[in-house]
A and B are shown apart, each in its own frame.
Chain A
């Protein structure tokens, strides 16, 4: 069940459960975290799931490496049979094109599609949040149509606004913070993936599904105003789709 267990320095250990970006491996990672959450070994501080691994941070003065590895190995037995709670589906209203998505024409032209078709393909499926990382609240998403793939900018923009929806190669993503970046920007969501003032500052979790819902510029402005006033509630429901992305 475990491909390898390797120390990451003297206070962390990486448990490798798969070596590809795949919904089945993702499910194994989720199952492992589910087990860990129910029965946190003493000395474990936190853990960080990734595409095919879970890294566990611990205090060596409470639990030594060998003892922890034994516990983690036990947790990893039978991962494929774990019953997981249903995933959440989170809907992000998104305005495409225009000043909000300056690279939509490029992505369309690059793929020989009309811009409306890029929007249809991008918003027409639900994306799996494989992992979180990079900056607070950033989801690594899987499941984008390869028909709208586009290379990164050769010269990254010094500032990409919060909420920008972009494409880089075969990946799509949303920027939770204003940062520099080389993604092709096709739209903008008014929903904040990261809001330090919110009770749960980070909106998304590993294992969630994400849907981009096209909205008009007027709707975008209206929602953005509601977000500012704190009256907007993000649409979150139980994900009804299948296990495989």
Chain B
């Protein structure tokens, strides 16, 4: 491990995240991990890391970071107005961050969460096979907490191949986020807990992201979704993207820090490839839901998976 970055300012909420704690949800252990896993994986691939290496998730107002040696970095996800020593930093591209230079963010221009990967991977406390920070239990990453001023981030060992800079994601692959998103869902598993009218409302209404949204869930406000009898179900497991509807009829999209189980009926689940759109919605932004069938949703995950696999292989062969 080698010192890589010094935190001069931590920003609103900057945490170490990878793809989350897999395999322990049956113990109640929350998965955590990147809210926008696509952007983190692309950032890792561009600097030659494994896709699932840990990086920084930076929210709204990014941090201020000083390079302690020459680094190869890539910044993906939300456009938070990044600059290096005052010069705008290109995104979705690996670049060299020279020793002593300072990475700053001027604030959110598009999207909410940006991801910084460093060649070698960001080091952090590993708990149950993941470095993801889970704030509520205070585990993973930087002692289970957001970054603070004065923290030193270390990177994995190994020489920096400055030649690995300059890789970019092809322009047609770069997601475009706005204040409005249309998100595809697979209905269920408890769609029968809702009236036909309730399901129609959900699929035609426009929902606004409330300020109470966080890494646990995106809380929405809009046309009230009608239950048949009750919003309560016998508690069962939830997944990322599950759309829970409590008795007030206002949906919540469960995200990275969701509890493992829940007792509210789930009307639908956001499909995997559309989760980043939800993760990048700003407070006040709006979302509408469109139903697609399961085979089509799976086709989309499979295609994205093979794309990321190719990108990873290309990054590691150079």
Contact = CB atoms under 8 A, between A and B. Distances in A.
Interface of A: 6-12, 14, 19-21, 45-53, 55, 57, 59-61, 64-65, 131-138, 140, 176-177, 179, 194, 196, 201-202, 205-206
Interface string B256-282: 000111000010011110000000000
Nearest to B303: A61
Given A50-B235, A136-B24, A179-B136, 12 more contacts: A6-B189, A9-B240, A10-B294, A20-B234, A46-B23, A46-B25, A48-B26, A50-B261, A51-B234, A60-B301, A65-B294, A65-B295
Given A14-B236, A133-B260, A137-B27, A46 B298 contact: no
Contacts of B236: 14, 50-53, 55
B188 A135 contact: no
B294 A7 contact: yes
Contacts of B270: 9
B28 A14 contact: no
B46 interface: no
B1 interface: no
Nearest to B26: A48
B142 to A, nearest CB: 15
Contacts of B297: 9-10
Contact of A134 (B28, B188, B269, B294): B28
B25 A140 contact: no
B302 interface: yes
Interface string B183-197: 000101110000000
A193 to B, nearest CB: 9
Nearest to B189: A6
B119 interface: no
A135 B137 contact: yes
Contacts of B259: 133-135
A206 B24 CA distance: 13
B139 interface: yes
A46 B188 contact: no
Contact of A53 (B237, B294, B300): B237
A50 B302 contact: no
Nearest to A6: B189
A136 B26 contact: no
Interface in B127-159: 127-128, 136-137, 139
A53 B238 CA distance: 12
A48 B261 contact: yes
30 contacts: A7-B189, A8-B238, A8-B239, A9-B240, A10-B272, A10-B294, A10-B298, A20-B234, A48-B25, A50-B261, A53-B236, A57-B25, A60-B298, A61-B301, A61-B302, A65-B294, A132-B27, A133-B28, A133-B259, A133-B261, A134-B260, A135-B259, A136-B29, A136-B137, A137-B27, A194-B137, A196-B137, A201-B27, A205-B27, A206-B26
B242 A8 contact: yes
B12 interface: no
B10 interface: no
Interface string B288-318: 0000001101101110011000000000000
Contacts of A202: 24, 27-29
7 A-B pairs closest in CB distance:
A133-B261, A9-B269, A55-B237, A6-B189, A48-B237, A202-B27, A10-B297
A196 to B, nearest CB: 5
A135 B306 CA distance: 34
